[in-house]
């Protein structure tokens, strides 16, 4: 497998998509020291200062129905939480679907982008950002964002973490491609998910609902029980937690 390293890019996802369009093979990883226009979910900016974090994108060409691609985001979350927990004293958790949380603040997120035609995936780009050694956060995100260094009081070797994340990702990905769903990864996911058995507020079609998350389905949806006792299955595309 190939890893392409840039010093500075606009966004590794953007570069990965360009390379994918030009025929880059399955499994190639794009890594950058700095992103000038790192992209977050919901059109947000992902601050990616030089040499401080892990900004990487994985090009995948899975033989999968496009409706299943969003599960790759949960797999990325699993890979990151696993790797972080091997090296930290504080426990990291996944906030469904894929934010990684330490001490109630976000250290990592995943942005998955796909190109498909009819029922066939052309490529998927899984972009993972981890705040590793950043110590200065802008005022507007200080309350909600953190880094491994901030929480652990020491700096981390990024290469070691990258290796761990890619190895775990590959392991979970291979299992996922056998099952074509998360059936063998549900337990693993739920064990690391901060929402399970907790009260969650979800915004569904602009309407707030309060209830308890009880786990995920093999398709990666959140199982949610409303106060009325009625169970709902929530899709990450339509809900914010």
Quote the least distance from Cβ 184 to ligand BTN, whole Å.
25
Task: Kindly give the pairing relationship between strand 231-234 and strand 239-240.
Answer: unpaired
- Residue 231 or 238: the one with the smaller Cβ distance to ligand BTN is 238
CA-CA distance, 123 to 130, in Å (whole number)? Answer: 23
Compute φ and ψ for 152, nearest 5 degrees: -100, -15
Q: C-beta of 173: minimal distance to ligand BTN in Å?
A: 17
Min CB(10)–ligand BTN separation in Å = 8
Closer to ligand BTN by CB, 109 or 220: give it: 109
Residue 13 Cα distances to 57, 120, 133, 150, 168, angstroms: 6, 20, 21, 26, 20
Q: Give contact residues for ligand BTN (rule: CB under 6 A).
A: 11-13, 35, 38-41, 44, 46, 48, 55-57, 99, 109-111, 127-129
In whole angstroms, how close is the CB of 76 to ligand BTN at the nearest point? Answer: 10
When the beta carbons of 129 and 211 are compared against ligand BTN, the nearer one is: 129
Residue 151 CB, shortest distance to ligand BTN, in Å, is 17
Q: What is the 3-state secondary structure (H, E, C) of 54-79?
A: EEEEEEECCCCCHHHCCHHHHHHHHH
Q: Which is nearer to ligand BTN, 134 or 211 (CB)?
A: 134
Under a CB-based contact definition with an 8 Å cutoff, are residues 21 and 14 in contact? Answer: no
**Between residues 15 and 150, which has the closer beta carbon with respect to ligand BTN?**
15
Contact criterion met (CB below 8 Å) for 210 and 241: no
């Amino acid at each position: 497998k190939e890893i392409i390293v840039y010093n500075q890019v606009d966004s590794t996802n953007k570069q990965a998509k360009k390379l994918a369009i030009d025929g880059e093979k399955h499994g190639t990883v794009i890594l950058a020291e700095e992103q000038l226009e790192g992209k977050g979910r919901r059109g947000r900016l992902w601050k990616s200062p030089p040499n401080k974090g892990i900004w990487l994108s994985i090009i995948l060409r899975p033989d999968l129905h496009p409706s299943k691609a969003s599960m790759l985001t949960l797999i990325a979350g699993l890979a990151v939480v696993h790797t972080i927990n091997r090296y930290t004293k504080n426990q990291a958790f996944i906030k469904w679907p894929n934010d990684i949380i330490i001490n109630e603040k976000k250290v990592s997120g995943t942005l998955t982008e796909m190109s498909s035609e009819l029922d066939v995936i052309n490529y998927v780009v899984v972009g993972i950002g981890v705040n590793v050694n950043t110590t200065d956060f802008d005022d507007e995100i200080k309350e909600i964002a953190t880094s491994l260094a901030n929480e652990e009081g020491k700096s981390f070797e990024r290469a070691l973490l990258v290796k761990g994340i890619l190895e775990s990702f590959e392991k979970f990905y291979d299992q996922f491609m056998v099952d074509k769903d998360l059936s063998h990864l549900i337990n693993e996911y739920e064990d690391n998910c901060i929402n399970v058995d907790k009260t969650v507020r979800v915004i569904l079609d602009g309407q707030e609902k309060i209830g308890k998350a009880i786990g995920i389905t093999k398709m990666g949806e959140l199982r949610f029980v409303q106060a009325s006792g009625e169970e709902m299955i929530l899709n990450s595309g339509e809900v914010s937690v």
